[in-house]
Structure 1
Amino acid sequence: MKKEMLFYVPELPQELILEILSWLPVKDLMRFRCLSKTWTTLMSHHAFVKLHLQRSSKNKHVLLSFYQHDNAVGNRNNSSVAAAPCSTDGLLENPTSTINNCIRRFSETSIVIGTCNGLVCICSYFKTDDYIKYWVRFWNPATRIMSEDSPYIVLFDSDYQNELYYLKFGFGFDDLSGNYKVVMILLDVQSYKRETRVLTWGISVWKKTLNCPLFPLPDPVVGQLVSGTLNWLALSSVGNGPDGYDWDIVTVDDLVIFSYDLKNDTYRYLLMPHGLLEVPAREPYLGVLKGCLCLSLDYKDTHFVVWLMREFGIQKSWTQILNVSYEYHHYPIHAFALNFMPLFMSENEDILLLADEVRSLYVVYNLRDTRIDHTHGFNVHSHFYVSYDYVQSLTLPY
C-alpha cells in the first residue's frame, strides 16, 4: 500500500493578500467580500481604499452625463438625466453599445455636478410657486452605494415664471483637509448679489465663503474639476448677470476662466490662449480632456477648434490639438449650436471621441491622420453632454 502524500498550502501573509487584492477591479472585490469577514473588513479600511484608488487610476474610464428623451408606450414621453460610467476602450470600439449598457437614470429634476475619486455628486431640486429646495447625494457607480440626502438649501422665489436666481455647481476634493466639497455659486438676479456657498462632506451646513466679483456664463451649469480647482467660463467686465451682456460686443480680453480653489476657498482668473485672436460667434465650451482644461469652439461656422491647457494655470501651455473644417468632412453648418462636443481623448492623443448632437452621432476622429475613423448613431435622443474623468473605486459615499 502506497503511502499517501499530503500537501499543505501555507497561509499567505496578510501583506501579500493586501497587495494582490489592491490590483483587482471593484467588481471582483465585491464578489470576494462574502468569502471572509476579514476580507470584508480589509476592503472597507481607509488605507486599503486609498491604495486601491491609486492603482485603479491607471485604468481609464469616463463618466458621461446627458439629458435623455425616451419614447415610451403610446404617445407618452419620459425624460431623465442619465449617467454612464464607461471604459475608454469600450467607447472607442462601440460607443453606442458601451454607453447604453452603463446608463443609470435619475429624475429630470436632477443633474450630475461632478465626479471625483470614484464618487459622483448628484444635485436634485424641488420647486413650488414660492421656493426652490436643493440638495445633493453622493453615488459610487462601481459599488452601487448611494448616500442619504445632504442638508437643503432653500431659495424663495415669489415669481414662478421668472427665475430670481442663477446657480452654478461643482464637486471636488480638497487634498489639504482630506474633505470632499460641493460648491454652489449663486446670483440674485434682482440685486446682482453674488455669493459662494460650500458644503463640506461631514459638516451639516452650507457655509458662505466669498462674494464673487463676477458670475460665470449661463452654460454649462457645472464647473470643471482640474488640479483641485473648479472652473467656469466667465466675462471679466461685460454686463452684470448671465443675461446682462451682448455677446456680439464681447472681446477676447473680456473672456476669462473663473477658477475656484477648493483648498483655500479663493479664486483667480485664467486667460484664453494667445492664439485665440477673436471671439467665436457663439460661447465656447469648457471641458476636461486627460485631466487638462479643454476649450472647444466653433470658428466662423466653418471650423471646429479644440485647445488644451497642458499645464494648469499657465497661459502659454494652451495647445491647439484640433482645427478641422466642417466642409472637408461634409458636415452641415448649423447656425445655432456647436456641432461637436469632445468626450475623451486616447492616452497617446491620436484618437478623439466627439458627440455630434446635430446629426445624433458619436464620431471617432483620428487626430494623427486628420480623418473620421467611424461613426455610431445615438439609440435615443440625448443632449447636454458633459464628460468627466472617472475611476472605479471603493470610496464610500458617506
Structure 2
Amino acid sequence: MTKESIVQQLSPVGEEEIPVLPIEIMVEILSRLPIKALCKFRCVSKPWLSLISDPLLAKSHLKKTIRNDLLYYQRKRVIISSYNLYSLEYESIGKDGRFDENLVALELDYPLKDKPNGLAEFLPLKEDDEFAVIMNQDLQFCEIERNWVDILGSCNGLVCISPYEDTLYLFNPSTRESRRIPDTPSGLPANGYCVFGFGFDFVNDDYKVVRLGCGTVSVYSLRTDSWRMVCHFPYYDNVRKSGVLLNGAIHWMTCYGDGADLKCVVAAFSLEKEVFLEMLAPNIVKYSFEFVLGVLNGCLCVLHNHHQMHDDFWVMTEYGVGESWTKLTLSLSYNCMKPLCLVQNGEALLQVDGKLLLYNLENDSYRYLVVDGIPAEDGFDANTYLETLVSPNSFCWT
C-alpha cells in the first residue's frame, strides 16, 4: 500500500473542506503518542493498522524517544522475571520524592507463559487409581507452576528471553509481539553451557543475538532469520553471564594466558564488524570469574560476583580507556549487584541481592523499594526496556 493510498483511505468521506494531512505530518504526530494509545488506534481501520505497523513509524517513534529526555523517562520500563514476567513504570520510581508509595508491577503476557513444568509426566497415573487421585492433587500446583524466564538482553524495546530450556524469543513487552529464534543448526556446536548477548547493529540495520559456547561464537541475524558461526572464542570458555550491550558491542569479562601470564580483559564483540576488541580490566581483577559487568548511565561497570560481601565497584568513565576505571565505595555491602538505570532525580536504581533499591551517589544514602505483585520470597532478575513499536517480525527478508 502506497503513502497516497493510505492518506486517501484515512480522509473523511464527503468532507473535502477538511484538509488532508501529508503522511510525513501524520507520522510526526503519531510518533509523539504513547504505545498504549497507538495499539488501540490499530483497531480503527485497516489503513490505520497499516500506518501504525509501518517500520518507518516505529523508527520515527524510537528516535523521538531516545532524543527527548521527557519522552525517554515516560517510555522507560523495568522488566522483572520471577517465574513470570512483570513490567514496572520507570517514570514513577523516585519521582517528586514519592518513596512512601509502593510500586505496582504489571503482569505481562509472553510466549510459553502457561507451559507447565512437566513434573507430572514422570508418573504414569490413571484416573481410576486412588493413589493417582492423591498424587494428582499434590502435583496440581507443580503442573501449573511456570518455568523461570531468563532475560538475556534488551535493545530498542525488544527483549531477548528464554521462557523454556533451549528456547529463545525476541519479545516486545509493549505490543506483545514475539518471534521465536530458530534452534541452533546441526552444523554448529550445540552441546555444553552457552551464554548470550543481544543488541542492534546500527550500520547494517539488524538485530543480532550472539551465542558463546563450546569455544565458538555464533550470531543470529533477525534480517536473515538464521544462525551462522563467526569465529572461535579467543579467550577461556569460562563465561557464565549474559553479555552487556553498550556502544554497539556485547561485553564479557574473560581472560587468557596461564600462570603469571594470566590476563583478565573486557572482551567487546562488535555487532557491526563481528570481531572482538579488548579493554583493560581494573587492576583489582585477578580472576575473571569473580567479576561481572554492568552498565550505569552509559558507563561500563565491573562488580564483584564470587559470593562474598563487598561494598565497592568500578566505573569506566571514558569508554575504551582502561586508565579511566574509577572505584566507587558504597555505604552498603552486597553479595550480588546489578545496576539498572538512573531515575529522574539522578539516583541509581540497583538490583541488590534480590531486592530493588535507590542509591544516591552524591550523599551515599539508599532506600529499598517495595514492589507489589511480585513473589519476593523466590528472588528475581531485572532489566530495563523502552516502550516502542519495533516489531520482531518486520525485519526479516526471508
TM-score between both structures, scaled by the size of structure 1: 0.72
SS, match of residue 312 in structure 1: coil
Match of 2:37 in 1: 28
Contact 2:255 2:288 in 1 (8 A): no
Deviation at 1:372, TM superposition (A): 1.9
Contact 2:195 2:240 in 1 (8 A): no
Match of 1:206 in 2: 227
Q: Does 1:137 align with 2:131?
A: no
Q: List aligned pairs for 1:1-398, cutoff 5 A.
A: 10-57=19-66, 58=68, 59-60=72-73, 61-66=76-81, 68=82, 80=83, 82-92=84-94, 93=98, 98=103, 100-103=105-108, 106=113, 108=147, 110-123=149-162, 126=165, 134-153=166-185, 165-187=192-214, 194-215=215-236, 217-220=238-241, 222-238=242-258, 254-273=263-282, 276-277=283-284, 279=286, 283-297=290-304, 303-320=310-327, 322-326=328-332, 337-338=335-336, 340-346=337-343, 350-357=346-353, 361-376=355-370, 379-383=375-379, 385-388=381-384, 390-398=385-393
Shift in CA distance, 308/384, structure 1 to aligned 2, threshold 3 Å: farther
1:272-295: CA deviation from partner (whole Å, max 9, x where unpaired):
23xx44659982221122233222
SS, match of residue 91 in structure 2: helix
SS, match of residue 90 in structure 1: coil
SS, match of residue 290 in structure 2: coil
Deviation at 1:212, TM superposition (A): 0.9
1:36-94: CA deviation from partner (whole Å, max 9, x where unpaired):
4333222222222111111123413244344x3xxxxxxxxxxx2x4444332223356
Match of 2:127 in 1: none
Distance 2:153 2:273 in 1: 20
Shift in CA distance, 392/281, structure 1 to aligned 2, threshold 3 Å: closer
Distance 2:310 2:192 in 1: 35
Deviation at 1:310, TM superposition (A): 3.5
Higher helix share: 2
Q: Which runs of 5+ in 1 are unaligned?
A: 1-7, 69-79, 127-133, 158-162, 188-193, 240-249
> AA paired with 1:283?
E
Deviation at 1:118, TM superposition (A): 0.9
Deviation at 1:215, TM superposition (A): 3.5
Contact 1:117 1:395 in 2 (8 A): yes
> AA paired with 1:366?
N
Deviation at 1:154, TM superposition (A): 5.7
Among all aligned residue pairs of Structure 1 and Structure 2, give the percentage whose two residues are the same amino acid. 27
> AA paired with 1:200?
S
Distance 2:355 2:231 in 1: 42
Shift in CA distance, 98/325, structure 1 to aligned 2, threshold 3 Å: closer
1:155-187: CA deviation from partner (whole Å, max 9, x where unpaired):
999xxxxx9612111111112211111111112
Higher strand share: 1
Contact 1:288 1:387 in 2 (8 A): no
SS, match of residue 193 in structure 2: strand
Contact 1:280 1:300 in 2 (8 A): no
Distance 1:199 1:19 in 2: 33
Distance 1:299 1:120 in 2: 27
Q: Which runs of 5+ in 2 are unaligned?
A: 1-16, 114-145, 394-398
Distance 1:282 1:152 in 2: 26
1:243-269: CA deviation from partner (whole Å, max 9, x where unpaired):
xxxxxxx99x73211211111111122
Deviation at 1:122, TM superposition (A): 2.1
> AA paired with 2:275?
T
Two-structure CA RMSD over aligned residues (Å) = 3.6
Contact 1:296 1:304 in 2 (8 A): no
SS, match of residue 15 in structure 1: helix
Distance 1:30 1:95 in 2: 32
